[in-house]
Amino acid sequence: MSILKKQKEIDEITNVKEFYNIIKDLIHNPIVQQMKEYRQHYDTSCYDHCIEVAYWSYLYCKKNNLDYVAAARAGLLHDLFLYDWRNSKKKLNLDGLHAFVHPKIALKNASTICNLTYKEEDIIVKHMWPVTFFQFPKYKESYIITITDKISALKS
């Protein structure tokens, strides 16, 4: 095995461990665990989708000297809405279409399980930009979650 290949494997293991340490309090939370019960895109659960968005955003932010901790944590919580979005508007009496209201619902739910930084709040509530065109993200990390979220949704 080449030295470069071995170093790449070591870096990957290091990143996975660090990522886990950043989000471990969240992934063990019963409210976050409930995301496993809801389908997000095709046959991907909301939980798996959020883990993917969080991890890829964490990696990108870390590589580019951005706030990878906020990206990982908010990425995990960005879709913490806890309902079946395909047929919930009438059942839950949502105040608008899911695409427009779920970031606020996710922010409210996330705020009940941990203290969020202003950056994490911005990431969560603005992750649907440009759909929510009137709410421009304030931070680079918010844009990264937005883009990663769309890529994850398209690949599912």
Signed CA dihedral, 97, 130, 150, 103: sign only:
negative
Quote the crossing angle between the two packed helices 46-63 and 140-155, to the nearest 10°: 130
Do you know the residue count of the chain?
A: 156
Provide the residue-wise pLDDT of the chain in tens; the chain has 156 residues: 577 676 777 778 788 899 999 999 999 999 999 999 987 767 788 999 999 999 999 999 999 999 999 999 999 999 998 777 666 555 666 676 666 678 898 999 999 999 999 999 999 999 888 777 677 899 999 999 999 999 988 875
